[in-house]
Structure 1
Amino acid sequence: MRVHTLDLQFQNTPGLIAAYLVESGHELALIETGPGSTLPTLRQALQAKGFQPGDVRHVFVTHIHLDHAGAAGWWAQQGAQVYCHPSAARHLVDPSRLMDSARRVYAERMDTLWGEMLPAPEERVTALADNECIRVGEVQFTAWDTPGHARHHHAFVVGDACFTGDVAGLRLAGSPYLSVTAAPPQFDPPAYVASVDRLLAGNFQQLFLTHFGEVTDVKDHLSRYRQRIEEVHQNVRTWMQQGCTPAEIEKRYGETEHALATATGLSPADWQLHQMSNATGMCADGVRLYVEKNP
C-alpha cells in the first residue's frame, strides 16, 4: 500500500484540507473529497501522480461536512462507488438540505468557500456498518463508527493506519497545538472521548488527519486530544454556570484557545490558519449547544 497526501489548497492556502490517495495493487481509493470548490485542485493533484479521475473507483468519506464530502457526488457521477456512514447516505444522494443549511450560515461566501455539491446516484452510494470491510486491491478498509464530532462519522482503518476525518482533531503543520473540532450541531464530548479511546486501543502506527497530514506520535497525540475535548467542554460548562452570554462565551473561548496556542509557540500567521480551518467562534457555539441540551 502506498499513501499519497493530496493538498487541496483550500482558499489558495496549503496545509488546511487533505485528501488521501491509496494505491494498492492495481486499484486506487480516495479518502475524503474535500469541498466542491477544491475539486479542480484535487483533479490536478491526482494527474500529477500520473492518474486520471476515471482510475479512482472507490471513494471513502468520513462524514458529510462540506470540507470532507462536498465533491463526493461528482466522483459518484463519474462512476466511483462512495462509501459512508449509514446516516450520511441520504444526504449524499440528495444534498439539498445540507446545502440549504450551509447557505444560511455562509450566505454570499457559500460558493467561494464550498462550491457546488452534486447529488450522487443512489446506486453509487454504499452505507457501511461499524466494522464492515471493503477490499481495494491488496488491502482492506474497515469502517469504524466514531461519533463525537458528528453522529454520522466513520474512521477508516487499513492495517496499522487510520484515516481519522475529524475524530482525532485538527493539527496543522505538525504543531503541538491541538484544536478541538467542535462544530455544531452534533458535538458530543462523552461520545467523542469514547471514540478517541477506541482509536487509542487500536494501537495504530499512523493517523492520517484531514486537517492535516500524517501523525506518527499516535499515542501522545490521541492522549492529549482526549484531554483537550474534556477541557473545552468543561470550560464552556463553567462559563455557562457563571451566567456568561453566548457572545461572552465565544470571546472567552477564543481568548483561551489563542493563549494556549501561543504558549505552544504558534505564530500569529499560523493562528490565522487555524481560524480558517476551525474557527473558535464556531467551536464555542458547538460546545455551548451541547451544554444547553445536557446541563
Structure 2
Amino acid sequence: MSRIQQLAPNFYCIDTHDLNREQRTSSYLLIDEKIALIETSASPSMPYIVEGLDELHIALEDIQYVIVTHIHLDHAGGSGLFLQNCPNATFVVHPRGVSHMVDPSRLIASAKSVYGTEFDRLFDPIVPIDSERIIEIGHEEVLSLGQHQLTFYHTEGHAKHHVSMLYSATNGLFVGDTTGVRYPEMESESIDLIIPSTSPNQYDPDTMEQSIQLYEKLNATELYFGHFGAYKNPAEAYKQVRYWTPLFLAEGKKALTVSSDFKEQVHFLDTRLKELLHNYLQENGIPKNHPVYETIPFDTIVSAMGILDYLEKKNT
C-alpha cells in the first residue's frame, strides 16, 4: 500500500507507521503559499515523513509550519527532531503544550510510566524545541496558509492541551484523538470500528463530549484522524464514541472492585475491553482471523490505564 494518499488538491496523508505498523498514525501535508505539516508522530516515524516529502518533491526547507493536535508522543514526539532539519519552520501548539515541548522531561517520564522498557524503541529521541520557534495558538484563532486557512479550536477531553483545526479547503476537521481511534482495517467491511481514546492522564469523558458537540456545530464534512486517515462519515464517528464511552467506564468501575493493585486492575479492564470489542465484531460477522484483532490490543491496554486514572481522580 502506498504511504501517501492524496485527499484533495495539494492535500496529502502520509502513513507514519507508529509502532512500525501500517495505517497506525497519520501526518498531513497541506501545500499552499505556506506549506504545513500536521502531526509528526514519534521520532522513529521521521524516515517515513521524509520519504513522503521527497516523493512529493517538497524540501524540508520549504516547510513553514509544523502543527500538532496535542503533545502526546505518538503525535508530537518527533517534532523536535523534525524541526532540526526544517530551518524555516515554526511549531504550532496549544498554549498548555509549550513548556513541555521546550523541556520534554515530564513528557518522557509520563510515557515511560506507561510504556516501560519499550519507551526507547517506540519514542527515542525526544528533542527539545527552542521557545522562539513556537506559536501558542488560541481558541478560534486563524492561521492563513495562503489561499486556504486553518481555524483552531481548543478541544479538551483526550488531553487538556488538545487542539482541532477546521481546514477551509475541504471543510474537514483535524481531530487528533478527540473522536478516538479509527480502524482502517474495517474499510472493506459493512461496519466501521471507532473507539474512544482514553489514554492517561488527562482523559475526561465530559469535556470530550463537549468537544464533540463543538464538532457537530462546526458541521464538518469529513474528519482527519491521528489514528488513522480521512473519514467521510463524521456522524458515525460521534455515534461510536458515544456508544463505547459508557461501556468502557462501566467496565472500569468493575475493575476498581476486583483488586486494589493497579496492574491487576489494568489487566482486568484491558481483558474486558477486548472482550467487548471482539464480541461486537463477531456479532457483526467479522471473523476471528480478521487483521483488526491484531491492532485492538495496542489501544485497549493504554485506554484501560486512562480510564482507571480518570475514575481514581473522580473518586478522590
Structure 2 length normalisation: TM-score? 0.86
Which residues of structure 2 form unaligned runs of 5+? 1-8, 187-191, 260-264
- The equivalent residue for 1:293 is 313
Secondary structure of 2:212's match? helix
Matched, 1:27 2:34: yes
Matched, 1:220 2:236: yes
Secondary structure of 1:34's match? coil
Matched, 1:244 2:226: no
- The equivalent residue for 1:161 is 172
Secondary structure of 1:138's match? coil
Question: Residue 259 of structure 1 is aligned with which of 276, 279, 284?
Answer: 279
Q: Which of 172-181 and 159-168 deviates more? A: 172-181
Whether contact under 8 Å (2:90, 2:135) holds in the other structure is yes
- The equivalent residue for 1:271 is 293
Please state how far the C-alpha of 1:83 moved relative to its aligned partner. Answer: 0.6
Alpha-carbon distance in 1 for matches of 2:270, 2:165: 33
Give CA deviations for 1:144-178 in whole Å, capped at 9, x if unaligned: 11111111101111121111100011112163111
Alpha-carbon distance in 1 for matches of 2:281, 2:98: 36
Matched, 1:9 2:17: yes
Structure 1 residue identity aligned to 2:53: L
Secondary structure of 1:294's match? helix
Structure 1 residue identity aligned to 2:294: Q
Please state how far the C-alpha of 1:27 moved relative to its aligned partner. Answer: 2.3
Give CA deviations for 1:18-72 in whole Å, capped at 9, x if unaligned: 1000112x32111101100111111111111111111111111001111100111
Whether contact under 8 Å (2:91, 2:135) holds in the other structure is yes
Secondary structure of 1:156's match? strand
Matched, 1:18 2:34: no
Alpha-carbon distance in 1 for matches of 2:223, 2:30: 14
Structure 1 length normalisation: TM-score? 0.92
Structure 2 residue identity aligned to 1:171: R
Matched, 1:173 2:184: yes
Alpha-carbon distance in 2 for matches of 1:168, 1:47: 31
Which residues of structure 1 form unaligned runs of 5+? none
Instruction: State the aligned residue count.
Output: 290
Structure 1 residue identity aligned to 2:144: R
Please state how far the C-alpha of 1:289 moved relative to its aligned partner. Answer: 1.7
- The equivalent residue for 1:66 is 73
Structure 2 residue identity aligned to 1:19: S
RMSD (Å), alpha carbons: 1.8
Whether contact under 8 Å (1:76, 1:124) holds in the other structure is no
Whether contact under 8 Å (1:192, 1:229) holds in the other structure is no
Divergent runs of 4+, >3 A: 261-264
Please state how far the C-alpha of 1:97 moved relative to its aligned partner. Answer: 1.9
Give CA deviations for 1:59-109 in whole Å, capped at 9, x if unaligned: 110011111001111233333111111100111111122113323433332
- The equivalent residue for 2:209 is 193
Matched, 1:281 2:281: no
- The equivalent residue for 1:42 is 49
Alpha-carbon distance in 1 for matches of 2:74, 2:249: 24
Alpha-carbon distance in 2 for matches of 1:172, 1:147: 22
Matched, 1:57 2:77: no
Alpha-carbon distance in 2 for matches of 1:15, 1:231: 26
Whether contact under 8 Å (2:251, 2:272) holds in the other structure is no
Structure 2 residue identity aligned to 1:164: V
